Every structure is written in structure tokens, then in C-alpha cells.
Amino acid sequence: MKKRNMILLSAAAAAALTGSQMASAWFSDADAAVNLLTPGGVNTSITESFEDPGVPEPGEVIEKTVAIMNNGPNDCYVRAAAYFSESDMEELCEVDYDTGHWRYDGGWWYYDDILETGETTSPLFTSVKVSENAAAEKIHAFDIYIVQESRQAAGSTNAFDAWGGK
């Protein structure tokens, strides 16, 4: 009787082991998919036309043209920001931003159109005017720094969308 129970117990263990292996094979079946992902490349640069005026006079208009060029292999969206090196001079100056092609939001100017390969944006601005009412002793030399970013146009509907915005 002991022998018979031992044989039945061994047979039950073997059946359980075989069943669990089959179930494991059934539930763990997998296929591999190979996805080739080729990231898009963008390469943009700032183009400037500017002559340093030194220390400007009250009412002086400083010619400075700033635009962005797409040097890369893909069309892209661009945004740019302009920062004065001297905050007190920023308060005394007026920049003629192009609000027809660029839109301001959250510290950035977004170019409305897709910038195609080899193309240049319309200028972000073309001049800076020092206030006529500025006291001459308050005016001093300053710089305007331009920062720009670009993102591949494919997959976005507009410049704001390219940066996860509106």
C-alpha cells in the first residue's frame, strides 16, 4: 500500500510539474519587434547685423538685425529670447520686435512658420531705440544677448506645440 501511494504521489507530482511547464510556456510566449528609430536632426544659428555704437545718446536708434537660420537637414520650429546685459538699460530702451511673424509667450518669442532647411526667419527685431527722455548720465554701454532653440517640425502642429505648449 505504501508503494502504491508513493507511485501515485510521484505520478501526481510529475503531472503537476508538466502542467505548470506547459502553462508557463503558454503565458510567457513572446515575439520580438525590431523598431529602427532615426532621430531627426536640427541645426540652427543666429544671424546678426550690428555695429557697436559705444555709449548711445538719448533718442538714438541702434540698428541691430537678429534672425535665425536653419542649417540642418530637417524643417524646424524656432523660438528665441533677448536679454539685456544691463537691466537699467532695458528700462530705457524700446526694441522693435516683429509681432507679425513672432509671438511672445513666457519669456520666449516663437516664430509662427515652419523654418525650412536653408531658410532664415524674418528678423526678430531690427533696431533698439534709447528713450528720448532718458537722462544722458543714466545711459551706458550694454549688450543684448540672444538665445535660440529649435525643434524638428515633424510631429508638431505649430511652434507652441513643439515645446508642449498651446
Residues 62, 58: Cα–Cα separation, whole Å: 11
Q: Is the pLDDT higher at 40 or at 108?
A: 108
Confidence of residue 37 (pLDDT cuts 50, 70, 90): low
- Ranges assigned E (strand) in the chain: 44-50, 61-70, 76-84, 93-97, 102-105, 108-111, 125-130, 144-152
For 124-148, the pLDDT digits (tens) are 999 999 999 999 999 999 999 999 9
Q: Tell me which residue has cell 541702434.
A: 62
pLDDT in tens, 48-90: 998 888 999 999 999 999 999 999 999 999 999 999 999 999 9
Q: Quick check: 153 pLDDT over 90?
A: yes
| The architecture CATH gives domain 44-162 | Sandwich (2.60)
